[in-house]
A and B are shown apart, each in its own frame.
Chain A
């Protein structure tokens, strides 16, 4: 019971963090039809920027400043790079963001070095929120949850209740019509790109010190986020939300479960004496590849993803 509850809480925290990344990715994808390969790189930039800003003015201002900086950078990149690649088609756009992720990693190497930086949880948020049975649940995890849920609510309210949100939604499906009505669609695209990237950066700000801030963090989380988006269904925010939680929870549970097929068989009184490598693998060892297996399974049985609306 204790294991279950704690893993569930951790899984939901991780899942919400994944959603902060995948929501921006999904928005950008459904608007421009391009998958931002460098999305996780902006997550990394968020963490590094927050580290740098927090050395000067502390964590709380960094929480606001770093995503804004990264969002601004994203807008510049959209305006002067991605928009140029756009006229050569989707493959060129995808390749552009691929090259960008490569370049951002090098820039991070250049500025902050190859070793992890000392980006820590602020003292105010360091401690125990509550104790469940015998396991402590840290304040910071609660804080992460709060920020992600806050972002989720803000995103939902912004998209459905504000004027700009409605225009964005309209531009998603009928860009030509929106343009004909006198809105500057390229500028809306730029805003959405900047916004999506800023969400990723926010995830980086709160994820960077919870995990580790190092140049490899973009690659580590990047492929998982792509899996989330495919599993959820390309372009579907609800799908991305469900898939983020699902993968977050599944992976957290998998890490905690130290049993293998051999163990399960033994539970039923069957002894697998000559069991091979596969049968002796524990679920913990399987955890890194579970999301990918999950993705392959989804693609076989439901190719458009959980909530995907149409075949592309």
Chain B
């Protein structure tokens, strides 16, 4: 994170926010299929959710394994509010996500008070416990959480205003998009406030933050409450989008997914979780459509990111942007070209192995097609070939990777030399 953050509305920022708004308005006009629309709704919701998660992990340094609790609380509050509004018509549907946000905020006050007393590993475990507490409690109170079936509602209630009754998917998309835009703006603005800056200080060095006169526990508590608020809004939007909320939205799976999105996108950058939310949602659809092993690939992808690119995609982008600015991006390209083939070999070998293993386990009727070739998984030859491919690729990778490091070292030396001059 850079030390100097430009003001919220410099000319460049204004242009960026305008572009984001324009993109959100134009996208559904380009991709107007029902399928694409619902995907965009889902992605928008996940963007708010993962940004709210990053308020904890990236900005305050709190690793949470139970963030779905606030999402779920918001979702259930909203769906109940929706059903209540259906009877009494007290609130317009468009501001119902705020109810979810407030419920999430209350959840943040309640659980945050307990959990933010500690940071680090203890916080992570408490958050896990709270997540599990909510998940098991949700099955105990069927009146509130609807048991296994969940609670459903109907968003097409009340009078249509200017023909908008949120029946068609496109209308709910624009509602979600508007909320998403507002939430991104608000969360970005928060990073500029004294609280947002203090959260960073508490993340980096709680003791020194204390010396400056701030109470780290209080700062963590405030960030937790606000993160709960935005997660609640995301939950509320998902309740309106699907018109149904199940106990699953409170559970460990949802917490895990948001963690992965924020981390893979890059927790050190404000826009990182946005990249993560878009990428993982799209990948989930694309990969799950092709193979049954998509969860396995996800786990592998996540582990690789943790071990080799802990800054996430956003930090990789930022690194290359620095080269681009210095006009040196071309210098690393030869080294990249050199590792491309070993990478592809390893990838091909691994994918073949995993796919054959799944084929073997599931005993599917259809013959397995790996890269267009039909393969008999019961004979030994394809296994040996795949294994050899993977091993060969890995060895080549190990041999050729030093060139990439060397190219980077030279380029960075070049940049730093220029700065020094």
Contact = CB atoms under 8 A, between A and B. Distances in A.
A247 interface: no
B358 A110 contact: yes
A150 interface: no
B205 to A, nearest CB: 14
A74 to B, nearest CB: 16
B302 interface: yes
B121 A226 contact: no
B132 to A, nearest CB: 4
A202 B139 CA distance: 31
A300 interface: yes
A105 B293 CA distance: 12
Interface residues of A, number: 47
Contacts of B358: 110
Contacts of A286: 140
A246 to B, nearest CB: 16
* Most interface-central of A85, A98, A234, A289 (chain B CB within 10 A): A98
A13 B281 CA distance: 44
Interface in A99-114: 99-100, 102-103, 106-107, 109-111, 113
B130 A103 contact: no
Interface residues of B, number: 44
A90 B126 contact: no
B237 interface: no
A96 B124 CA distance: 14
B140 A106 contact: no
B58 to A, nearest CB: 10
Contact of A96 (B115, B139, B143, B307): B307
A35 B307 contact: no
Contacts of B117: 299, 303
Contacts of A226: 125, 128-129
A102 B299 contact: yes
Contacts of B300: 103
B184 to A, nearest CB: 24
B147 interface: no
A292 B252 CA distance: 15
Nearest to A300: B114
Interface string A286-305: 10110011011001100100
B35 interface: no
A296 B133 contact: yes
A88 B296 CA distance: 24
Nearest to B299: A103
A223 B126 CA distance: 10
A230 B140 contact: no
A34 interface: yes
Given A85-B307, A92-B306, A99-B303, A227 B129 contact: yes
B25 interface: no
Nearest to B297: A106
Given A96-B307, A226-B125, A106 B295 contact: yes
B126 A230 contact: yes
B136 interface: yes
A230 B136 contact: no
Contacts of A311: 118
* Most interface-central of B122, B124, B141 (chain A CB within 10 A): B122
A35 B133 contact: no
Contacts of B357: 110-111
A234 B296 contact: no
B61 to A, nearest CB: 8
Contacts of A229: 125
B402 interface: no
B347 interface: no
Contacts of A111: 357, 361
Given A100-B303, A277-B143, A299-B114, A292 B310 contact: no
20 contacts: A84-B307, A92-B310, A98-B256, A100-B303, A102-B302, A107-B296, A109-B295, A110-B293, A110-B296, A110-B357, A110-B361, A111-B357, A223-B252, A281-B140, A285-B140, A288-B140, A289-B137, A296-B130, A299-B114, A312-B118
Given A33-B121, A288-B140, 8 more contacts: A96-B303, A103-B303, A110-B358, A110-B361, A226-B128, A281-B140, A292-B132, A299-B117
Interface of B: 57, 61, 63, 65, 114-115, 117-118, 120-122, 124-126, 128-130, 132-133, 136-137, 139-141, 143-144, 252, 256, 259, 263, 293, 295-296, 298-300, 302-303, 306-307, 310, 357-358, 361
Q: Which 6 A-B pairs have the closest CB atoms?
A: A103-B299, A292-B133, A288-B136, A106-B296, A99-B303, A102-B299
